[in-house]
Structure 1
Amino acid sequence: MTRWNDGTDATASVSPDITEETNALPASYFTDPAVHEMEQEKVFSRYWVYAGHANAIREPGEYFTRTIGGKQIIVVRDHDTEVRAFYNVCAHRGSKMVEDTPMTEPGNASSIRCPYHLWTYDLDGDLRSTPQSFEEAGMNPDLEDDDVRELDREKNGLMEVELDTIGPLLFVNFDTDPMSLEEQAGDLKTELESFPLERYEHARRYVSEVECNWKTFSGNYSECDHCQANHQDWIKGISLAESELEVDDYYWVLHYTHDESVEAEESLIEGEARFYYFWPNFTLNMYGNADGYGTYIIDPIDEGRFQLIADYYFESPELSEEEERFVQLSRKLQEEDFELVERQYEGLQSGALAQGQLGPNEHTVHRLHRLAQEAYNA
C-alpha cells in the first residue's frame, strides 16, 4: 500500500513477500543523510564489493587505488604475481601514501613509500625500511641511540584487506570475519567463471555523477517496466513477453530475449542479453550480439548523489565500427536512465511520499530493498 506523509509517520518494514502491502523501503531511506552514513559500515564494509579488473595490473608492481565506503585502498600485484589489497594508510602516523590512481591509468612501483616520513613497504605489505632518524635519537636529549627500539617489520606493515576473485573480477571485504565471496555470490560465481572474461581488454570508461541516491538507480537498473515508455531504441529489439527476471540471495539476472521479428542490425541484441546485478553495487552486462561485456560500479557519494563508472571490455581496445555503435547505444541508455532517476529523486525529496509500492514484475527491486533493510538491521 502506498503511504503518504500525512502526519501519522506510518511506514513499515519491507514485507518478505512482494504480494504484501508494504513491499518497498520507506522513502526516507533514500534521502536521509544518517542512512548514507550507516550504509558506509553496514553495507559497504560488510559485503564483498567490486574493486576492479585484474587485467589492469598484469605485471608485478602495477597498482590502482579505489575508495569504497569512505575507505581508500591500494590494489597491487606483488612480486609473486599475487593481487593484494591494502589500506592506503601508512603504519607510522596514518598518512595517505599513494595519490588517487584509477584502474584505467595504473601506477607502477617496486615498493610503496609514504611521502611524509619515507616509511617504505614491500608489495606484500611488510615494512622494508625507515629513515635513519627512526633508528637514532640524536634530537632527543633523554634517549641514547641504544635505547631506540627496533621496529618489527611484519608487525608494523600495512593493513591488508580481504580480496577474492570471480574470474578476473576483483572484490574486497572490510569485515573482520566476512562470509566468503563464494557464499555471497552463490551460483553467480560459477556462471560468470564459465565465460572467458579474462580474454577481453578494457576499451572504454565513462564516469558520470548523477543527482540521486544510489539505490534509486539500482532499482531502475533492476526492472524493465519503464522500458516501453523510455527506451525506444532498446525495447524495439527485445521481446519482453519472453524475458525473465531471475532472483537469488545476493544477485539477480535480467534475461532479455531478442524479438525475432526485428532485424538483428536494428537491435542492440541478438539471441539473449544478460544483465547481472550483484549486491550491493556491481553489475555486469552481456549483450547477445556483442563479443564483449560492460560493467557498472554504482558508487554513492552522499545520500543524494552517486557516481556511475561504466567500463567496456572487448577483444581489442581498438573498437570496430560495430563495437563503437554498441558502446554509444549503451551510453544513450544510461543517459535516458539518468533523467528518469533524477526525476524520481526530486519527487522523493519533496517529502510527500512516505513509502512506495512495487509491482509484480519488480521482484528484483523488492530483493534490493530487502537486502538493504537486512543490512540496516544487522
Structure 2
Amino acid sequence: MSNTIQIIDLPSGDRGKFSTDSLNSPTLPSRYYTDNNIYDDELKKVHQRAWNYTGHVTDVVERGSYFTDTVAGQPIVIVKGQDDIIRAFFNVCAHRGHELLTGKGKLKGKGIVCPYHAWFYKTDGTLQRARLTEHIKDFDTSEYSLREISIAFSAGLIFVNLDKDCEPFDKSMSGFGPSLQKYLPNIENFVAAHRLSYDINANWKVVVDNFSEAYHIPIAHPQLAKVLEQEAADIMLEDRWTFNGFRSRTGFEGLELEPGLPYCAWQAWPNICMLSLPGSENLIVLRMSPNGVGKCSERVDVYTPKGDAENDPKLLAVRDLFMNMFNQEDIAIVESVQRGLSSLGYDQGRYICDAEQSWFTEAQLHWLHMQVLEALAKD
C-alpha cells in the first residue's frame, strides 16, 4: 500500500499517535468504532467510493433476470439486458424516486415498470414510455434514464462502485481475479448453493478486523486450529486485497480431511472476506455492510459448482460448521469487542506484529486500518 497519509492526519488516543509502522503503533482509538460522525464519513469516503461485491454472473443468466441489493446505504439493481449486457443502476425511478424492483427474479416483459406511476424503462436504463407526458412542456424522455452505476466482473464475481469518478477495477484490484482462478479454476461457473445473513451488534470494522488477523485462532477457534497448519504456504499483501494460503490438517469429526489440501483466504477492500475451505470445491464470500455505527449486516454466500456438488456432504459439512460453529464463535467475539470499545476502561491497544508480517500476527489488521485512514483523509 502506498503511504499517502501525512503525519498530521494520524489520530491519537490515550496510548499515543497511530503510526504507519505496525511494529511501533497503538491501535485505532475506540472512537473510530463508536463515533457517529466518523461512521458517516466512512459511509461516504470508504463504502461509496469502493468496489463493492454484490453477486455472481450466474445470478443473472437469462435476459431480463435481475437482483436487488443495498450497497453503502443505496438501493441498487443488477439486470441482464436484452442485449446480454449486465448493468447496474440505482434502483429508483427518475420520476418520484419510488424503488423499482425488489428481491430477485425475471422481468415480466422486456423492461422495468415502476410500480408507482408505470414509467417504463428498457433494460439499458433508457426511459421508453411515461404516461400522460405527451403534452408536458420541454419533457424529454432521454433526460430521465436510470442512473447507471460502474460495474466490473472478476472471476465471475460482480462488483459495483457508486463513485462516478472511480478508479477502474482492474487497476484498483489488479491481480485479484487471477488469484481466485489459480485456486478455483472453475469459479466463473460456480453458483450460490447457500445464502445466509446475520445482523451483528458490532461496527463493520470490528467484524472485518477479526477476519484480518489469525492471532486469535488457536484460542478462540480450537476446532478451526485442527483444520489448518500453523504456517502459511503463501502470502500476498496488495494495495486493495490480500491472500493467505494454508495447508489442511486432518480435521475433526464431521470434517475429516486429507492433510495438505489447500485452505485459502482472501480479503478485499473494504469489507469483503473470502474463504475456500478444504474438502470440496467452494468459495465462501462474507460481506460486512455498515448498518449504523455499532451494527452491521453480514451476508454470507456459499458458491460451488452447479449440480451434485451443491449437495456434496463435504460442502454441507463446511456450511454447517461455518454457520453453527465458526461464525457463531466470531459473532460472540465481535459483539463483545464492540461493548468493550464503548467502555471508559479502553481506548487503544497495541498491534502484535513482527518484521516478517507473519500471517498469525496483526499485520493485515494494521494494513486495513491504514486503508481506512487514507480514505478518510481524502476530500
TM bucket, shorter chain: 0.7 to 0.9
The Cα shift of 1:193 comes to: 4.1
Residue 22 of structure 2: SS of its match in structure 1?
Answer: coil
Task: Confirm or deny: 8 A CA contact 2:272 2:287 kept in the other structure.
Answer: yes
Residue 6 of structure 2 corresponds to which residue in structure 1?
none
Task: Confirm or deny: 8 A CA contact 1:268 1:287 kept in the other structure.
Answer: no
Say if 2:245 is the partner of 1:255.
yes
Equivalent residue letter for 2:236: E
Q: 1: distance between equivalents of 2:111 and 2:258?
A: 45
Residue 150 of structure 2: SS of its match in structure 1?
Answer: strand
Q: 2: distance between equivalents of 1:114 and 1:121?
A: 8
Equivalent residue letter for 2:101: V
Aligned pairs for 1:74-85 within 5 A:
74-85=77-88
Residue 141 of structure 2 corresponds to which residue in structure 1?
153
The Cα shift of 1:18 comes to: 0.5
Aligned pairs for 1:105-184 within 5 A:
105-109=104-108, 110-132=110-132, 134-136=133-135, 148-149=136-137, 151-184=139-172
The Cα shift of 1:308 comes to: 1.0
With over 3 angstroms needed to count, the CA separation of the structure-2 counterparts of 1:200 and 1:9, relative to structure 1, is: closer
Residue 5 of structure 1 corresponds to which residue in structure 2?
none
Task: Confirm or deny: 8 A CA contact 2:194 2:302 kept in the other structure.
Answer: yes
Q: Give the alignment partner of residue 300 of structure 1, picking from 290, 308, 320.
A: 290
Q: 1: distance between equivalents of 2:131 and 2:251?
A: 72
Q: 1: distance between equivalents of 2:326 and 2:92?
A: 38
Greater Rg over alpha carbons, structure: 1
The Cα shift of 1:260 comes to: 6.7
Q: 2: distance between equivalents of 1:165 and 1:340?
A: 33
Q: Give the alignment partner of residue 89 of structure 1, picking from 89, 92, 95.
A: 92
Task: Confirm or deny: 8 A CA contact 2:255 2:314 kept in the other structure.
Answer: no
The worse-fitting range, judged by mean Cα deviation, of 41-50 and 282-291 is 282-291
Q: 1: distance between equivalents of 2:234 and 2:181?
A: 22
Q: 1: distance between equivalents of 2:189 and 2:260?
A: 21
With over 3 angstroms needed to count, the CA separation of the structure-2 counterparts of 1:261 and 1:167, relative to structure 1, is: closer
Say if 2:320 is the partner of 1:336.
no
Say if 2:180 is the partner of 1:192.
yes
Please, what TM-score do these two structures have when normalized by structure 2? 0.87
| CA RMSD, 1 decimal | 2.2
Q: 1: distance between equivalents of 2:92 and 2:204?
A: 27
Residue 281 of structure 2 corresponds to which residue in structure 1?
291
Task: Confirm or deny: 8 A CA contact 2:156 2:189 kept in the other structure.
Answer: no
Equivalent residue letter for 2:241: Y
Question: Residues 300-340 of structure 1, C-alpha deviation per residue, up to 9 Å, x if partnerless?
Answer: 11111111111111223641222211211122211111111
Q: Which runs of 5+ in 1 are unaligned?
A: 1-7, 137-147
Equivalent residue letter for 2:63: P
Q: 1: distance between equivalents of 2:91 and 2:232?
A: 47
With over 3 angstroms needed to count, the CA separation of the structure-2 counterparts of 1:183 and 1:287, relative to structure 1, is: same
Residue 36 of structure 1: SS of its match in structure 2?
Answer: helix
Equivalent residue letter for 2:37: A
With over 3 angstroms needed to count, the CA separation of the structure-2 counterparts of 1:166 and 1:259, relative to structure 1, is: same
Residue 226 of structure 1 corresponds to which residue in structure 2?
216
Q: Which runs of 5+ in 2 are unaligned?
A: 1-11, 354-360
Task: Confirm or deny: 8 A CA contact 1:57 1:77 kept in the other structure.
Answer: yes
The worse-fitting range, judged by mean Cα deviation, of 81-90 and 316-325 is 316-325
Residue 365 of structure 1 corresponds to which residue in structure 2?
365
Residue 352 of structure 1 corresponds to which residue in structure 2?
345
Please, what TM-score do these two structures have when normalized by structure 1? 0.87
How many residues are treated as equivalent by the alignment? 354
Q: 2: distance between equivalents of 1:11 and 1:87?
A: 43
The Cα shift of 1:93 comes to: 2.3
Percent identical across equivalent pairs? 27
Residue 327 of structure 1 corresponds to which residue in structure 2?
319
